[in-house]
Structure 1
């Protein structure tokens, strides 16, 4: 496909044209020319958009779709299209389907079904068989099928010896092990952050201690075994401190934070709106501040939308019984861009690729065109009518966001809103 992008401000520190306004000519999916002005001599399709900015394609390290098994929540096709319209060219997809993605065949199914899409799907295989926490899944076979990491989505590994074995075994083939940071006996039946808010609302609390104990355990195991550990979606100030200390000791650990845990606090729970029931739970403002600081100093390696569509039957019910989760792909950019500069926001949305073995593609002549197109300045209120995801459980519904995504060019395909 041939496309001429006109007058785009390039936001890519790895590009020679960083912060410059340029035309970008793409021929057969490859960037063939970047210049201040490129004549359209071949009469290819031109893209002219208001306040157009272009960056490397965005990446999300934790996305859940429903297929196979929970197609009423989100099919693969609709999920990938939602990702494309939200500016993402690459997504790492969790294993929480039915059946659980825990073997070579399941990984191959995801890869084959998404093969020709503009958005590249990177499967995360389950760490244990059927994600039940008893026995390790077929980790090496899944790697050969294309798995980029191993994770029982939002299920803590209760058995420390199993985590020890996972780190040791996966280190033989450079496998990345995710460990959800929650000590189940401490978290108990808690559904929100344990705090004065939970007490006043009469909701059972899930303390930050549950997260921090599990992180401390896993860091000790990592130090003992070696290997590569990723701790997804941390939410407390103490968690940031623990990981900062581990990195100072040169342990091979990375971590992420969900975007809603950077912005929202448990104070929004007073309406008992189940859109705000997420895991880990929303914490306090001091936790948000520590997480933002952790991103700025590099302690936290990446952000994630933690996109998790839940059907209405499991979300619009009594708070205690509602499932955890929010969709987040569509609001990721607009929400981040309200608390960070545009440069910082794009940096956060393009980080994490190397950790999961996803190739980065700088905006340079001769490189594959894998681009996100956006306007960073437009402000708007995100409404239910804007949701493309099949499920409508958007935590940022009715919030004012900043930044409009125009679309992507990826896999020799152009997707525009």
Structure 2
């Protein structure tokens, strides 16, 4: 990957090679502007011949592909993992706040003045992904000269994905149209037959959630199945029971929540970036196959950028993941391992400390010649994971803690992890 360069006034210049960046830094002709994405700033006046740079963005609900190209060169490529846990974190916060009103603590009155929503309001889980998509587009646009933005968006017809033969007035009717409720629709779909034992006569039928609601399952008919009362028992619901095993076997229940998000994101991209060139997946896929690139998000971004011939494409690429630096709640609903009683006195556990002896959570450090990230602290050490999410431990030792004295600081990373990968 190439290194982003800024002039003395902080304006972007053409990215340079890693070797040239090292020479400039060693000769004190440049300083490190920021580590991620790695950017240097020149300390002397220089010529400012600039070529056009193209930024390719492969949008998605779980991953974003990013690439910077110029003429026939791929200068930088990356893949961003978007957060998928926002809704579960908000649900947990709601539970803690509700429980707190019934304990002998400071009473938190319900609020009703915060119910008004803005005209373009989105649920927090969707707004978070929209914000991060726009954030990385703006970051790259500020680091390259004369950026020419190319964005791939998605347009989906969710009703036709469920029923390809839908037409006309059928769009106004849901899957359960004509049935008393979802329960009777599930029975009719399954031919009034228990899907566990296969019997239908003289049996009382129930509807069963394939993925339990406590594990994130929904009340949608795709997550419901017909079960008789003989099979729908508490024993079968427990771990090891046949219904519990279904939860793992049928984990991939058809979901359509990504399609509405992509439609929403597309409309907001039109508003936020009116000068961007918009493409669709039907155009990207054949071009990528013609150029012999594998199916990855950053390779899609390379094609989206509009490049026609590739003569320079480094094997290195950047994986960017968001890191949650600390748990927000001081209260613990259940006692943590090692505690004899719940933490009701609101004292932070040492593993939940955001910094210790000059080191912060998510700092990049070097231990035993390996580079990793601090994921937690102990009484006199830290837990460190590498880019593959494996603990870095002492040689020939089983415990995971590493002493502070054995860590060498590299850089702060705030809430993002930047992992350099190599194409296989």
Q: Specify the TM-score bucket, using the shorter chain as the normaliser.
A: under 0.3
- Tell me the TM-score normalised to structure 1 length: 0.19
Greater Cα radius of gyration, structure 1 or 2: 2
- Tell me the TM-score normalised to structure 2 length: 0.18
Greater share of residues in helix: 1
